[in-house]
């Protein structure tokens, strides 16, 4: 059904074209001893020139493996194709000799990767890395190569191309590097561009720019794009056709509009429903004395230089003021470098402010003196638990340090584990036995064990798959209702913030540019930056459609 569903959804104009890429019955084998025998099983799809096919799935679904297989860069011998065909303009890439494959790569098939920071050789100038594509595939004089490298950089919208050409990658930002990688991939105008989560590591506004760039290049050149992502928002922005993968199998396939609006599979429906809609409900104002009061908070760092920037002192926080009532959640929203994480570290006392004041329940909060009344929940569920210490001890040690008798602390630990949806016997086990979502629950239990008045949650769900993300957000909500702690919720994701927070504070370059009740900020943003952020969020459906629903 998968193949035909894709074909049926295509309009008449493209149906007359010959397929650019056809994958038939592709099986890719995992090494023996893995959790399943095949990384990808029976994959089937067709991509036509000028179209964009998105492969969507959560981590471990096998989506990136397909991308690697098409360009012939599977990490062999761990992963190897076991059955099927990959037809590129009629030729089976799986049987093509390596030399012929090399001629295709970079010339006919280009690829863009997830980690722009690691995708460029740190010891080669940008220009040399671009020219390398020409050296490999064409025989051009040096001056011509340089001209074309500059043109390619221009094409991807980079400023001061001469300067960038002569720079090393370390002096470029993540977004700039991703543009360079795209320039490399598009240099020889390939017929097929494979994008493997190219915007996942980028800020939302940068993501919007990169997606627009890819769409623009595609339109100008008629490239076929195979786009791998975990984000349905991105899918709705760019996809013509969609394939949803789960555990190596194709769960559903079809035209983007159809899959997004009327998913045939329950799994797809579940994934789409798990995405926060980005609308906030009006919530009652509790009133009362503020629990957390921040006034004129400042923090200054010294930073080494970057391209177009001399080394300098950076004001990470330029006088932040806000207040938060007991039992309420304030969302701190911003992109990387906005100072939102610095604010979080100051509020818990891990860093000392360079000015301003911090009060919890009227008492000033002293940096580096930890009395336990403010706790933190961290982003990376793997780094936030000590691999050498049992779950139970990790949680119980806090109260024990505070003077709670050992037996009582352990009893409370087991109680808390059940409260966060784990079993009491988890206390005796070690972090490596748990999944990311489960670890995040342990982190929450650890924070709650201290009976905090305030919890700072620093991107607590951004490292989790979208379905797990929804469960953890639910947990936060129910716990807050029961235990009535206040929460400073730091996130880059306005959709998550909209769902969780009573108040929002939008941060940009160390300042709060807009603050107010969530539903007001989202419905009628006053500051241009808030509007930019809102516009950059990949939307599942258009605004009108959502309101209609």
Partner 1 sequence: MTRPNLLHKMFSRADVWLATLVLLVIVALAVAAPLIYPKGPWAMGGRPFLGPAGDLRFPLGTDTNGRNILAGLIWGGRVSLVIGLVSTAVAVSIGVLIGAVAGYAGGRVDAALMRFTEIFQVVPGFALALVLVAVLQPSAGSIVLAIGVVSWPPVTRLVRAEFLSLRSRDFVYAAQLQGQSSLRIMFRQILPNVASPIIVMGSLMVATAILLESSLSFLGLGDPNRMSWGFMVGASRTVLRQAWWMATFPGLAIAVTVLALNVLGEALNDALGSQSGKR
Partner 2 sequence: MNRLSFLIGRICQGILALFAIATLNFFLIRAAPGDPAAVMAGEAGAVDEKFLQVVRLQYGLDLPILQQWWIYISGIARLDLGYSYRQQASVASLILERLPATLVLTICAFVFSLVVGVTLGVLAARKPGSLTDRLIGFLALIFYAAPMYWLALMAVLIFSIRLGWLPAFGYQSIGADYHGLEALLDRMRHLVLPTLALSFFYVAIYTRMTRANMIAMSQMAFVKTARAKGAGETRIQLRHVLRNALLPVVTLAGLQAGNMVGGAIMTETVFAWPGVGRLMFDALMQRDYSLLLGAFLITAALAIIFNIITDIIYTLVDPRIAL
Nearest approach in angstroms of CB 402 to partner 1 is 6
**Residue 365 binds: one of partner 2, partner 1, none (C-beta under 5 to 8 A by kind):** none
Residue partners of 351: CB distance under 8 A and separation at least 6: 299, 342, 345, 367
Using only C-alpha atoms, what is the Rg of the chain? Answer: 25
Alpha helix ranges (H) inside 114-221: 126-137, 142-155, 161-165, 174-186, 204-221
**Residue 450 binds: one of partner 2, partner 1, none (C-beta under 5 to 8 A by kind):** partner 1
Binding mask 397-426 for partner 1 (x = CB under 8 A): xx--xx------------------------
Q: Which is nearer to partner 1, 348 or 540 (CB)?
A: 348
Provide the Cα torsion 359, 378, 244, 216; round to 10°. 70
Binding mask 291-320 for partner 2 (x = CB under 8 A): -------------xx-----x---------
334 burial (CB, 10 Å; 0-12 / 13-18 / 19+) is buried
**Residue 379 binds: one of partner 2, partner 1, none (C-beta under 5 to 8 A by kind):** partner 1
Nearest approach in angstroms of CB 390 to partner 1 is 12
Cα separation of 130 and 187, whole Å?
A: 8
Could you give the 3-state DSSP secondary structure of residue 244? strand
If we measure between CA atoms, which residue out of 523, 460, 512 comes closest to residue 488?
460
64 burial (CB, 10 Å; 0-12 / 13-18 / 19+) is buried
122 is a site residue for partner 2 (CB under 8 A): yes
Binds partner 2 (CB under 8 A): choice among 20, 111, 238, 540? 111
Nearest approach in angstroms of CB 234 to partner 2 is 21
Q: DSSP characters for 32-70?
A: TTSSSSEEEEEEEEEE-TT-EEEEE--TTSSHHHHHHHH
Touching partner 1, residues 348-387 (CB under 8 A): 348-350, 370-372, 374-376, 378-380, 382-387
Nearest approach in angstroms of CB 381 to partner 1 is 9
Helix (H) or strand (E) holding 257: helix 256-261
Cα separation of 123 and 266, whole Å?
A: 48
- DSSP state for residue 309 in the 8-state scheme: B
Nearest approach in angstroms of CB 322 to partner 1 is 21
Binding mask 425-454 for partner 1 (x = CB under 8 A): ------xx----------x--x---x----
**Residue 137 binds: one of partner 2, partner 1, none (C-beta under 5 to 8 A by kind):** partner 2
Beta-strand relationship, 224-229 and 241-246: unpaired
**Residue 13 binds: one of partner 2, partner 1, none (C-beta under 5 to 8 A by kind):** none
Nearest approach in angstroms of CB 166 to partner 2 is 11
Provide the Cα torsion 1, 44, 88, 55; round to 10°. 110
380 burial (CB, 10 Å; 0-12 / 13-18 / 19+) is middle
**Residue 402 binds: one of partner 1, partner 2, none (C-beta under 5 to 8 A by kind):** partner 1
How many residues contact partner 2, by CB under 8 A? 31
Helix (H) or strand (E) holding 355: strand 355-360
105 is a site residue for partner 2 (CB under 8 A): yes
Binds partner 1 (CB under 8 A): choice among 1, 151, 266, 389? 389
Angle formed by the axes of helices 406-419 and 391-402, nearest 10°: 130
Provide the Cα torsion 441, 445, 451, 455; round to 10°. -30
Cα separation of 424 and 326, whole Å?
A: 29
CA distances from 135 to 97, 162, 190 (A): 21, 19, 16
Q: Which is nearer to partner 1, 454 or 504 (CB)?
A: 454
Binds partner 2 (CB under 8 A): choice among 136, 151, 366, 524? 136
In this chain, which stretch among 28-36, 103-111, 500-508, 523-531 interacts with partner 2, using CB under 8 A?
103-111
Token representation of residue 329: 């959640």
Nearest approach in angstroms of CB 26 to partner 2 is 19
**Residue 367 binds: one of partner 1, partner 2, none (C-beta under 5 to 8 A by kind):** none
**Residue 389 binds: one of partner 1, partner 2, none (C-beta under 5 to 8 A by kind):** partner 1
Binding mask 17-56 for partner 2 (x = CB under 8 A): ----------------------------------------
Token representation of residue 201: 């590591």
Q: Which is nearer to partner 2, 16 or 99 (CB)?
A: 99
Touching partner 1, residues 70-109 (CB under 8 A): none
Backbone angles phi, psi at 41, to 5 degrees: -130, 120
Touching partner 2, residues 68-97 (CB under 8 A): 71, 73
Backbone angles phi, psi at 266, to 5 degrees: -65, -35
Nearest approach in angstroms of CB 133 to partner 1 is 34
Nearest approach in angstroms of CB 341 to partner 1 is 12
Token representation of residue 545: 């459609």
**Residue 409 binds: one of partner 2, partner 1, none (C-beta under 5 to 8 A by kind):** none
Q: Are 98 and 138 in contact (CB under 8 A)?
A: no
Q: Is 128 left (phi over 0), alpha (psi -120 to 50) or beta?
A: alpha
Touching partner 2, residues 147-186 (CB under 8 A): 168, 170, 181, 184-185
Q: How many CA atoms lie within 13 A of 50 on its CB side?
A: 12
163 is a site residue for partner 1 (CB under 8 A): no
Q: Give the binding site for partner 2 (CB under 8 A).
A: 71, 73, 102-107, 110-111, 113, 115, 118-124, 132-133, 136-137, 168, 170, 181, 184-185, 304-305, 311
Give the footprint of partner 1 on this chain (CB under 8 A).
Answer: 348-350, 370-372, 374-376, 378-380, 382-389, 394, 397-398, 401-402, 431-432, 443, 446, 450
């Amino acid at each position: 059904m998968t193949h035909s569903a894709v074909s049926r959804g295509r309009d008449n104009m493209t149906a007359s074209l010959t397929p650019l890429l056809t994958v038939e019955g592709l099986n890719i084998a995992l090494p023996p001893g893995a959790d399943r025998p095949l990384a990808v099983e029976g994959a089937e799809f067709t991509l036509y020139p000028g179209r964009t096919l998105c492969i969507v799935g959560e981590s471990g679904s096998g989506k990136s493996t397909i991308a690697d297989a098409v360009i012939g860069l599977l990490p062999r011998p761990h992963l190897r194709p076991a059955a099927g065909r990959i037809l590129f303009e009629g030729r089976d890439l799986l049987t093509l000799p390596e030399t012929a494959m090399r001629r295709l790569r970079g010339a006919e098939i280009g690829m863009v990767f997830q980690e722009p920071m690691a995708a460029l050789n740190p010891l080669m100038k940008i220009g040399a890395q671009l020219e390398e594509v020409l050296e490999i595939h064409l025989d051009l004089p040096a001056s011509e190569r340089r001209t074309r490298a500059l043109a390619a950089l221009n094409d991807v919208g980079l400023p001061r191309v001469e300067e960038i050409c002569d720079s090393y990658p370390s002096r470029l930002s993540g977004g700039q590097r991703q543009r360079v990688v795209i320039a490399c991939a598009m240099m020889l105008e390939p017929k097929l561009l494979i994008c493997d989560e190219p915007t996942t590591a980028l800020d939302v506004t940068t993501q919007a720019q990169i997606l627009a760039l890819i769409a623009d290049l595609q339109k100008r050149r008629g490239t076929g794009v195979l786009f791998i992502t975990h984000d349905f928002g991105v899918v709705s922005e760019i996809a013509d056709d969609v394939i949803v993968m789960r555990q190596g199998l194709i769960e559903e396939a079809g035209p983007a509009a159809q899959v997004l609006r009327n998913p045939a599979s329950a799994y797809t429906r579940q994934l789409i429903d798990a995405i926060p809609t980005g609308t906030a409900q009006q919530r009652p104002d509790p009133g009362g004395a503020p629990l957390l009061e921040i006034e004129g908070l400042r923090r200054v760092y010294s930073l080494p230089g970057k391209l177009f920037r001399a080394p300098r002192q950076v004001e990470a926080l330029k006088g932040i003021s806000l207040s938060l009532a007991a039992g309420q959640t304030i969302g701190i929203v911003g992109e990387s470098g906005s100072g939102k994480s610095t604010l979080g570290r100051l509020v818990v006392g891990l860093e000392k402010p360079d000015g301003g004041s911090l009060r919890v329940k009227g008492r000033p909060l002293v940096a580096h003196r930890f009395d336990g009344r403010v706790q933190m929940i961290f982003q990376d569920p793997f780094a936030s638990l000590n691999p050498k210490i049992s779950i139970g001890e990790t949680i119980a040690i806090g109260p024990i340090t505070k003077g709670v008798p050992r037996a009582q602390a352990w009893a409370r630990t087991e109680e808390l584990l059940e409260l966060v949806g784990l079993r009491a016997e988890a206390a005796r086990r070690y972090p490596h036995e748990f999944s990311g979502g489960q670890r995040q629950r342990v982190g929450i239990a650890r924070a709650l064990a201290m009976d905090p008045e305030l919890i700072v949650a620093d991107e607590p769900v951004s490292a989790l798959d979208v379905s797990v993300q929804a469960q953890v957000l639910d947990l936060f909500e129910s716990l807050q209702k029961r235990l009535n702690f206040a929460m400073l919720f730091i996130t880059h994701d306005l959709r998550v913030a909209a769902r969780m927070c009573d108040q929002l504070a939008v941060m940009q370059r160390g300042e709060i540019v807009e603050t107010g009740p969530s539903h007001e900020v989202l419905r009628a943003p006053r500051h241009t930056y808030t509007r930019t952020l809102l516009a950059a969020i990949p939307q599942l459906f258009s605004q009108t459609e959502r309101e209609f629903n």
